[in-house]
């Protein structure tokens, strides 16, 4: 496989040097240029046509958000990964960048971050490699599986929704949550692979744009109908039934499929609590987290949904679930909520 061509844009020479060293450490990525302003970003991308760009937000002359708008206006397609500062303002700007077309983000190297440089480097490289492979279809052959061709299982009414997603998920979830009707009375449990510190701001962002209540999940809290709970970064989210109440349990058990939070952990926990009354959805993201657990849910009698390839930033997690024969309905992003509501009605209120 040819080397992935990357451009690094950051007004700090130290950060540019650190990111260059991290990316070039194993020889799969070549940093072909660096710049320190958003204007540099637009000019270098136009001239060199890289595969991927790492982009800071706060820069002189032209900031990162303006650079993203310029690239969009010029109709230049390139994978942009934001280097995001762990502050309320930084998180807000990050989610704006995702709305403007950035594919993902990683924490910016800083003394305030608990993640060390090696961890940030591994995370950034995995996101770049996943995006590149998805864009160039460097994937194993598809397994031909008939969708929805399953033995008849007694259907029970839906009582809860589970959603698992990764790369491309923050923007996709915003589109999803704008569609939930005000009277939606089912609890929603969301696992979005995201570094610690960003999930609270992301939950607040979803709450702003949604007609239902959205929050970052807290350990021990009682689940309420019509509320959505976002798994906090660096914690697995599990659900427990105690007497008449259902509560959330957070723990820092070992990563599963390389992730904490893990979709598989949450889906398996939801399966124990709700069984086939759970409606699970798997969306855009690299890797296979969630594929095995959604298959177990399908086998138990849940009706399952996967986001389609066309509307996915990375057709990975959902692809794995489809190839396992775990999916009843493969639908475009904008059709997920309507399909969800149809299933709820079909299975009885």
| Per annotation, catalytic residue among 166, 210, 262, 293 | 166
Contact 19, 109 (CB under 8 A): yes
Instruction: Report the candidate in 115, 51, 49, 60 with the shortest Cα–Cα distance to residue 86.
Output: 115
| Per annotation, catalytic residue among 10, 51, 289, 308 | 289
How far apart are the C-alpha atoms of 278 and 301, rounded to whole Å?
Answer: 9
Active-site residue flag, 289: yes
* The pair of three-digit structure tokens given for residue 36, joined into one six-digit string: 């320190």
Contact 296, 268 (CB under 8 A): yes
Q: Cα–chain-centroid distance for residue 253?
A: 20
How far apart are the C-alpha atoms of 220 and 247, rounded to whole Å?
Answer: 6
* The pair of three-digit structure tokens given for residue 329, joined into one six-digit string: 């309905």
Active-site residue flag, 292: no
| Neighbour order of strands in the sheet with 188-192 | 213-216, 227-230, 188-192, 160-165, 278-282, 305-307, 329-331
| Per annotation, catalytic residue among 56, 84, 134, 193 | 193
Active-site residue flag, 166: yes
**What ranges make up the beta strands (E) of the chain?**
4-9, 29-35, 52-55, 79-84, 104-107, 160-165, 188-192, 213-216, 227-230, 236-242, 245-251, 278-282, 305-307, 329-331
How far apart are the C-alpha atoms of 248 and 273, rounded to whole Å?
Answer: 11
Q: Is 300 exposed, middle or buried (0-12, 13-18, 19+ CB in 10 A)?
A: middle
Instruction: Report the candidate in 150, 172, 193 with the shortest Cα–Cα distance to residue 288.
Output: 193
Residues identified as active-site:
166, 193, 289
């Amino acid at each position: 496989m040819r080397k992935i061509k990357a451009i690094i844009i950051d007004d700090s020479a130290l950060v540019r040097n650190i990111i260059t060293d991290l990316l070039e450490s194993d020889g799969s990525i070549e940093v072909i240029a660096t710049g320190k302003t958003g204007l540099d970003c637009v000019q270098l991308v136009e001239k060199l046509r890289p595969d991927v760009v790492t982009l800071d937000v706060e820069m002189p002359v032209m900031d990162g958000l303006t650079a993203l708008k310029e690239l969009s206006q010029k109709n230049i397609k390139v994978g942009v990964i934001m280097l995001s500062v762990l502050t309320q303002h930084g998180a807000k700007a990050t989610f704006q960048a995702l709305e403007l077309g950035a594919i993902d983000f990683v924490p910016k190297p800083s003394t305030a971050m608990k993640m060390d440089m090696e961890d940030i480097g591994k995370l950034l490289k995995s996101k770049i490699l996943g995006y590149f492979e998805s864009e160039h279809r460097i994937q194993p052959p598809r397994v031909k599986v008939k969708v929805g061709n399953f033995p008849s299982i007694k259907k029970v009414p839906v009582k809860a929704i589970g959603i698992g997603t990764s790369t491309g998920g923050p923007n996709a979830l915003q589109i999803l949550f704008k569609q939930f009707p005000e009277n939606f009375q089912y609890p929603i449990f969301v696992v979005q692979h995201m570094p610690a510190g960003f999930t609270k701001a992301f939950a607040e962002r979803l709450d702003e744009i949604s007609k239902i209540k959205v929050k970052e999940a807290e350990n021990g809290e009682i689940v309420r109908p019509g509320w959505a709970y976002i798994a906090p970064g660096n914690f697995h989210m599990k659900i427990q039934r105690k007497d008449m109440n259902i509560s959330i349990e957070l723990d820092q058990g070992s990563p599963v499929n390389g992730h904490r939070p893990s979709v598989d952990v949450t889906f398996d926990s939801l399966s124990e609590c709700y069984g086939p009354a759970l409606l699970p959805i798997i969306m855009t993201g690299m890797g296979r987290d969630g594929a095995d657990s959604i298959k177990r849910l399908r086998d138990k009698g849940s009706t399952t949904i996967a986001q389609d390839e066309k509307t996915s930033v990375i057709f990975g997690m959902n692809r794995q679930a489809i190839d396992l024969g775990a999916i009843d309905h493969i639908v475009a992003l904008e059709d997920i909520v309507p399909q969800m509501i149809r299933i709820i009605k079909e299975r009885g209120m």
